[in-house]
Chains A and B, each alone.
Chain A
Amino acid sequence: MLSAIINFFRKLIFRQKNVKLGFYGSTNVGKTTLANRMAVDLLGEPLGNVSPVPHETRNVMSKEHVELKTGGYSLVMNILDMPGIAVKVDYRDFMEYGLGKKEAQTRAKEATRGIVEAVKWLENVDAVLVVVDSTEDPYDQINITLLGNLEARNIPFIIVANKIDLPGSNTKRIHEVFPNYPVVEVSAATGQNMENLYDELAIHLL
């Protein structure tokens, strides 16, 4: 009851809030697709390019003043699409997608630089969407260390179980691995369940 009253006054005072929202996760989980979906839904224009080749996003891509209106309140966000985080970047992986050696090496270097930039940005984000691929096991080094760091820094986050449109999607596994964290199941590619994500954003960030 007390928390509800506090929340009521908090919302009353902060009717509009500007939030730097970071999109974090491993490579190819759909961060940019999700960011594009939100940017198109709320602002009318996309944010970045997507590609099956890992580390397509190698710089922080941002879209400012993305406004989410819900229940009479307004949440203004700066969407920050981060480069995918990895602990190993091997240029030879890119060559398997048809890139030449020189191009692959350049991409690897840029990707590594992007990882460094994404890590540094944790100092500046207000909230995070941790995007995971629902067709993959979410219990991996990247996700665990990322969530641990967010908790240690008291940065609010929502786990986004993406790619629910794909066969092999197993969102139950994600809920079981992270039972104590908010999990929203979406398909950034098709737009399925995006309303649920917007509602969760309003709940957690307003």
Chain B
Amino acid sequence: MHICLKCARVAKSVDEIENGCPCGSKVFVYKRDDLDSKRLEPIKSARFEEQRGKERKNDNLDEEPGYKYNEVWLSKGAQVSKLVADSNSKDPKIENVRQIKRGVFEVDLLGLKSGPLVVRDSEGVYYVRLPFEQADELIDD
């Protein structure tokens, strides 16, 4: 099934995938229905064990406040964690790259395409990377 990356709505038809989600997003993540979910867990666990060694802390992603995680396999075997936003949230985030937990990030692709990179640190300070090209003659080497 094709799932909207922004609002997690499952696309109802090919037309919707072509024209975009009603929320405005045009990015869908594909999840194959025939994958055995139990088969995924051992693979994920092995990968985390390999990458993080004995320093694993909380792997229970469902405990992350306000979010649910589904893993989706892309072509070529790439593994992506898809973030489902809290539907009750009335406070839209302005940062377009967020670290959900160690090694897991949420990226607003549409926001990055149309505006500057905005991140927020753990203390609530915003950092903006201006998407400007600097003219060489303005910079003294």
A91 to B127, CA, bound (A): 12
B interface with A by C-beta (< 8 Å): 94, 114-116, 118, 124-135, 138-139
Judging by beta carbons under 8 Å apart, are A120 and B114 in contact? yes
A99 to B94, CA, bound (A): 22
A151 at the interface (CB under 8 A from B): yes
CB contact between B133 and one of A91, A108, A111, A148 (< 8 Å): that residue: A148
A89 to B128, CA, bound (A): 8
Distance (Å) between the CB of A44 and the closest chain B CB? 35
A145 to B133, CA, bound (A): 7
What residues of B have a CB within 8 angstroms of the CB of A70 in the complex? none
Judging by beta carbons under 8 Å apart, are A148 and B134 in contact? yes
Judging by beta carbons under 8 Å apart, are A144 and B139 in contact? yes
- Interface 0/1 of A6-19, CB less than 8 Å to B: 00000000000000
Judging by beta carbons under 8 Å apart, are A147 and B135 in contact? yes
20 other contacts beyond A86-B128, A144-B138, A151-B135, with CB at 8 A cut-off? Answer: A88-B126, A88-B127, A90-B125, A90-B126, A91-B124, A105-B124, A108-B124, A108-B125, A109-B126, A116-B94, A116-B116, A116-B128, A119-B116, A120-B115, A144-B134, A145-B134, A146-B132, A148-B133, A152-B132, A152-B133
What residues of B have a CB within 8 angstroms of the CB of A130 in the complex? none
What residues of B have a CB within 8 angstroms of the CB of A116 in the complex? 94, 115-116, 118, 128
What residues of B have a CB within 8 angstroms of the CB of A119 in the complex? 115-116, 130-131
CB contact between B135 and one of A108, A109, A148 (< 8 Å): that residue: A148
Q: Name the residue on A nearest B115 (C-beta).
A: A116
Judging by beta carbons under 8 Å apart, are B130 and A152 in contact? no
A115 at the interface (CB under 8 A from B): yes
What residues of B have a CB within 8 angstroms of the CB of A109 in the complex? 94, 126
What residues of A have a CB within 8 angstroms of the CB of B125 in the complex? 88-92, 108
A148 to B132, CA, bound (A): 7
A56 to B22, CA, bound (A): 35
A55 to B4, CA, bound (A): 35
Judging by beta carbons under 8 Å apart, are A87 and B132 in contact? no
A8 to B133, CA, bound (A): 34
